[in-house]
């Protein structure tokens, strides 16, 4: 037997192969199984035209065997096999792909075939086979070709070359025998000798190989009549499910099938809220099976959560959680895309910059969006369930990236409406706006109930305007990012100038404020300039006092930002407004004239009240409580 060297450049490539092309060792099995499947395809395609080749489709299979003691992993197929010279060419030259040549030749023969009828073979780079050396010290390939009488054995321990000799193999096909490496400190190779581990690798990467992948599986069960004695028997089982659910005809798939697939693949016990199954043919073809979960997983809103869709080509998984396929704001979607059109790079791993992948991603985004829109329109209850789980993510999407995506998302968000007393879209709000209404009113607070009791809300409600109640801490940032909707700007009912009064009311108020100027200045001093201004207002109906903010930071934002665990603290520019029609207005005026001490106490108590109503704390609760008692006992 003659020992041969790999061609010079092959040596380098092999070294790269083992050490750097693949980031993930376990894919070697996927590569070898894909080769086996290709070999079976080739024999099958040949049998269609060559009547001398007699094969039964049902006999095709890929068999995997483990020998733990000898540390052997064997993969056998009954495909076309390789002749001596094919062994030499295909396995002696790295980056020589017999499969690509075959595919090109076959597809050339019958030009004008539809894409879906084209020969669908996985291999194309001529490197996958060598990934076996990532986990093996030695690789033996025994092969008998359909075209040659004798079988041959190819043996290699890696970079130092290979040898080919005749061997005894009766059946047509190929058997690959891997001598699995010993464990090292960094790597545990023995796992590749564990039955359950190999099974899970098959299911993960090669579940949709169209031929059965069989293994001996041990079943243990209690001995009949015994409580603690077990017996086991061994059965040959097909590990892969073969037919991808998403390639079946939609009409033939039951809802339970979709759900079962979801439970198994995405580890969620609950049924998904929505299944999206699409197949696109055209400039770019793909199948997509997508799920919108019914609830956010425990890690969804954490850094640990990884978005992405699994990417398949020709039924083989080439990338888990391909993040390029989903925009951040739809990161809750689970599922997969299967396309033969994405250009794979050599390791079938990194394809970030692929233009066709981006095209698929764009289509998928549109599809998800339109599904959500129809859900919103046709099944409000379902949409609200969706929104409860993932609405926050849509809101993040609106203000992230400087509001770049806000137009896409603004019709998918919901806020509580004061008049409808349920969630509403902005579009619906606009459709209900009164004739003389210029702005979209909103109010912020911890809960619907608390907002509803805010003094500032009262006047706007009184005038018959609808108010959006914002209870999520991100809501105001969303509003700021949106700036306006359908040409209408947003206005916080707690900001200084709502401009709801009639001209005569305004006149009246201005007079009142002007004549009490001195008093307000004195109150401001008593409050040590905590507020930018004190004034009378028309905006309160029954309440005596409130705080309003002007400038970019609202009262709610001050609370939210200051509650964050950073050093950045902010303060809203606030004014204390006193109800001009309330008894307290006259009382203050009187006290200001004659009783300095009482005037000071009243001012402090009023300010504390205003802060408490707004949901702020007060710095001096003991002092305030004493003051209240003093006033009560007068």
For ligand ADP, the binding residues (CB under 6 A) are 31, 35-36, 39, 77, 79-82, 90-91, 97-100, 123-129, 174
**291 DSSP assignment:** E
Q: How far is the CB of 162 from ligand ADP (least distance, A)?
A: 13
Q: How far is the CB of 28 from ligand ADP (least distance, A)?
A: 10
Q: How far is the CB of 283 from ligand ADP (least distance, A)?
A: 26
Q: How many Cβ atoms from other residues are within 10 Å of residue 256's Cβ?
A: 9
Q: Is 266 exposed, middle or buried (0-12, 13-18, 19+ CB in 10 A)?
A: middle
Q: How far is the CB of 244 from ligand ADP (least distance, A)?
A: 20
Q: How far is the CB of 30 from ligand ADP (least distance, A)?
A: 11
Q: How far is the CB of 141 from ligand ADP (least distance, A)?
A: 8
Nearer to ligand ADP, 34 or 538 (CB): 34
CA distances from 175 to 142, 145, 279, 311, 436 (A): 5, 12, 36, 29, 82
Nearer to ligand ADP, 90 or 516 (CB): 90
Q: Is 298 exposed, middle or buried (0-12, 13-18, 19+ CB in 10 A)?
A: exposed
Helices 195-205, 27-49: axis angle to 10 degrees equals 60
- Residue 274 tokens read as 């929505």
Kind of pairing, strands 488-492 and 467-470?
unpaired
Q: Do 325 and 364 touch, CB atoms closer than 8 A?
A: yes
Sign of torsion, CA 346 348 349 353? positive
Nearer to ligand ADP, 82 or 534 (CB): 82
Q: Which secondary-structure segment (H or E) carries 576? A: strand 573-579
The whole-angstrom separation of Cα 63 and Cα 139 is: 17
Nearer to ligand ADP, 176 or 560 (CB): 176
Nearer to ligand ADP, 41 or 476 (CB): 41
Q: How far is the CB of 13 from ligand ADP (least distance, A)?
A: 11
Nearer to ligand ADP, 126 or 315 (CB): 126
Nearer to ligand ADP, 80 or 325 (CB): 80
Nearer to ligand ADP, 100 or 430 (CB): 100
**405 DSSP assignment:** T
Q: How far is the CB of 218 from ligand ADP (least distance, A)?
A: 27
Rama region for 487: left / alpha / beta (φ>0; ψ in -120 to 50; rest): left
The whole-angstrom separation of Cα 322 and Cα 336 is: 9
């Amino acid at each position: 037997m003659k020992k041969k060297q790999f061609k010079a450049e092959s040596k380098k490539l092999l070294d790269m192969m083992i050490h750097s092309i693949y980031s993930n060792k376990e894919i070697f099995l996927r590569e070898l199984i894909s080769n086996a499947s290709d070999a079976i395809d080739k024999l099958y395609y040949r049998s269609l035209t060559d009547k001398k080749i007699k094969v039964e489709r049902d006999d095709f299979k890929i068999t995997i065997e483990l020998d733990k003691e000898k540390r052997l992993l064997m993969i056998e197929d009954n495909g076309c096999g390789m002749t001596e010279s094919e062994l030499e060419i295909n396995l002696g030259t790295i980056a020589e792909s017999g499969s690509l040549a075959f595919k090109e030749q076959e597809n050339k023969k019958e030009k004008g075939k539809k894409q879906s009828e084209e020969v669908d073979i996985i291999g194309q780079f001529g490197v996958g086979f060598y990934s076996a050396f990532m986990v093996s010290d030695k690789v033996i390939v025994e092969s008998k070709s359909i075209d040659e009488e004798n079988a041959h054995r190819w043996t290699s321990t890696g970079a130092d070359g290979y040898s080919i000799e005749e061997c005894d193999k009766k059946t047509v096909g190929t058997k690959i025998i891997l001598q699995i490496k010993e464990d090292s400190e960094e790597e545990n190779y023995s796992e590749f000798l564990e039955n359950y581990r190999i099974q899970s690798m098959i299911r993960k990467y090669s579940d949709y190989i169209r031929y059965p992948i069989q293994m001996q599986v041990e079943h243990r069960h209690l001995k009949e009549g015994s409580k603690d004695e077990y017996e086991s028997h061994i059965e040959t089982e097909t590990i892969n499910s073969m037919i991808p659910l998403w390639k079946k005809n939609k009409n033939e798939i039951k809802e339970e099938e979709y759900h079962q697939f979801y439970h198994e693949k995405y580890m969620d016990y609950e049924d998904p809220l929505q299944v999206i199954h699409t197949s696109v043919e055209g400039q770019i073809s793909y199948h997509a099976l997508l799920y919108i979960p019914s609830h956010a997983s425990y890690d969804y809103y954490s850094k640990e959560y990884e978005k992405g869709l699994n990417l398949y080509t020709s039924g083989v998984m080439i990338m888990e959680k391909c993040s390029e396929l989903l925009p951040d704001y739809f990161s809750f979607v689970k599922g997969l895309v299967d396309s033969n059109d994405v250009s794979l790079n050599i390791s079938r791993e990194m394809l970030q910059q692929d233009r066709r992948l981006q095209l698929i991603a764009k289509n998928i985004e549109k599809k998800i969006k339109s599904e959500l829109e129809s859900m919103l329109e046709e099944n409000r209850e379902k949409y609200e369930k969706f929104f409860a789980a993932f609405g926050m993510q849509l809101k993040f999407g609106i203000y992230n990236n400087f509001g770049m995506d806000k137009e896409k998302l603004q019709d998918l968000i919901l806020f509580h409406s004061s008049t409808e007393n349920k969630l509403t879209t902005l579009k619906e709000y606009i459709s209900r706006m009164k004739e003389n209404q210029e702005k979209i009113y909103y109010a912020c607070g911890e809960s619907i109930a608390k907002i509803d009791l805010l003094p500032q809300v009262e006047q706007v409600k009184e005038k018959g305007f609808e108010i959006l109640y914002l209870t999520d801490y991100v809501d105001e940032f969303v509003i700021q990012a949106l700036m306006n909707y359908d040409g209408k700007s947003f206005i916080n009912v707690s900001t200084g100038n709502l401009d709801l009064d009639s001209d005569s009311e305004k006149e009246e108020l201005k007079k009142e404020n002007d004549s009490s100027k001195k008093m307000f200045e004195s109150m401001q001093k008593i409050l040590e300039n905590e507020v930018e201004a004190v004034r009378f207002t028309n905006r309160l109906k029954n309440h005596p006092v409130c705080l309003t903010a002007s400038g970019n930071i609202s009262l709610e934002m001050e609370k939210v930002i200051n509650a964050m665990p950073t050093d950045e603290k902010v303060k809203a520019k606030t004014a204390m407004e006193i109800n001009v029609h309330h008894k307290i207005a006259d009382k203050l005026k009187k006290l200001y004239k004659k009783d300095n001490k009482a005037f000071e106490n009243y001012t402090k108590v009023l300010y504390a009240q205003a802060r408490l109503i707004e949901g702020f704390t007060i710095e001096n609760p003991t002092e305030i409580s004493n003051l209240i008692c003093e006033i009560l006992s007068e």
